[in-house]
Structure 1
Amino acid sequence: MSKFTTQELDLASDPTILLIKYRMMEKVWDFLEEMQEEIRKELEPFTGKLPKELNLVHGKISKGENYKRLPFMMLDFPAFFTKDDILAFRTMFYWGNFISSTFHLQGQFLKKYGKALIENFKNHKEVFFCVNNSPWNYDYKSNNYVLLNEINIEELEDYLQNTDFIKLSIKFPVDEMPERKQDLIKFLLNGLKVIQTN
């Protein structure tokens, strides 16, 4: 049996940190609910213009305690998921790391809108492009995300020929979360300009 450290025993003797964490996660849930409502209002002018599969009324908030051993919470809205086809806008709070929003396109939606979405954001300095072979990693290490404007056209073309998904993402530090909601929503609206059916 491994020995307890003094730090571990001190933390386990004090309920304060977990009570603060509980309050924080409640507030993050509220933040995502508020963001969902604001997005719903912003989507009204897009009615009838976006892919019919997208749910523009109800989002889904999920939470967990163990993404790489840390708590997280995420909002999928607007979003559509099947095994083969995905068109989703995911906002994620990751404890100790970031608040982020991500476009995830896969299958038919990648074919229809992928290149246009990349073109739309290619000159935005804060937009990241996923270079991992799995769409289910969320950290911003260099083997997962690189800045889109630092990838040359040949590399992008090569990647698009050898993948069935793309993810474009922005992130901010956790302590900037309260004032960054509008930046996250603006990222969504900017992308939706090229994800329209008419």
Structure 2
Amino acid sequence: MANVKLSQRELDLVTNTDFILTKNNIIAKVFDLFGDLSEFEIKTANNFLDDEIKIIAPKISKGENYEGLPWVMLDYPRYFTTKDIFAIRTYFWWGNYFSVTLHLKGKFKERFQAASFMSQEKRDWFLCCNENEWQHHFRKDNYKLLNEFSEEEIQQLSFIKLAKKIPLHRWDDAEMFLKESFETMLGLLQK
């Protein structure tokens, strides 16, 4: 028979409605932030994006279980096929951070791989080193600092995920961080 007894901590949480209501309120605020951010991103990227990408509306999604924790993400631009990807993903991960990730694959990797971010040393930018492009955590088996890669190593990657993050204790700085990171990513691709 399954052990369904609760520890005292579990019992305290299951009887505390404030915790879940507060969590739901926080997630709603992230949705509001990402909704405002999507409008900013559309205006900012409008002159840069190809029509095939521009016509795809932003998408905000959420879930409860990325490594056991709630998450919310905004994808814009968001062009995904089996071969080609051009996306900028804004991600909120409960207990961890906000992040912004530029994801390029296929024809978009080929088009932009010579972009200036490849040769620039940015101490707070990360590049994905994992073969699984759908992981979002920043542990060493998934992301390394960009300046730890040689240009040759970057050229050999099957996809590029360039990312930046801000811890949640800097919540009040998050909106500006996300906007500036988005603009920087677009700017790097235009050089």
Same fold (TM over 0.5): yes
Equivalent residue letter for 2:54: N
What is residue 148 of structure 1 aligned with on the other side? 146
What is residue 118 of structure 1 aligned with on the other side? 117
What is residue 82 of structure 1 aligned with on the other side? 81
What is residue 191 of structure 1 aligned with on the other side? 185
1:99 aligns with 2:98: yes
Distance 1:114 1:187 in 2: 18
Deviations 1:19-45 (A, max 9, x none): 10111111110010011112222234x
Q: Residues 139-178 of structure 1: matches in 2 within 5 Å?
A: 139-151=137-149, 153=150, 156-161=151-156, 163-178=157-172
Counterpart secondary structure, 2:114: helix
> How much is the aligned-residue C-alpha RMSD, in angstroms?
2.0
Distance 2:188 2:100 in 1: 17
Equivalent residue letter for 1:111: E
| Contact persistence 1:113–1:194 (CA under 8 A) | no
Q: CA deviation at 1:116?
A: 1.2
Distance 1:54 1:102 in 2: 17
**Which has the larger displacement, 23-32 or 107-116?**
107-116
What is residue 45 of structure 2 aligned with on the other side? 43
Q: How many residues align?
A: 189
What is residue 132 of structure 2 aligned with on the other side? 134
Deviations 1:158-193 (A, max 9, x none): 3532x3211000001113233222222222222223
Distance 1:56 1:192 in 2: 17
Distance 2:130 2:91 in 1: 18
Equivalent residue letter for 1:133: E
Q: 1:191 to 1:117 in 2, by over 3 A?
A: farther
Equivalent residue letter for 2:114: K
Counterpart secondary structure, 1:195: helix
Q: CA deviation at 1:57?
A: 6.9
**Percent identical across equivalent pairs?**
35
| Contact persistence 2:56–2:79 (CA under 8 A) | no
Distance 2:172 2:12 in 1: 31
Structure 1 unmatched ranges of 5 or more = none
Counterpart secondary structure, 2:53: coil
Counterpart secondary structure, 1:115: coil
Q: CA deviation at 1:194?
A: 4.3
Structure 2 unmatched ranges of 5 or more = none
Distance 1:88 1:107 in 2: 12
| Contact persistence 1:106–1:164 (CA under 8 A) | yes
Distance 1:137 1:57 in 2: 23
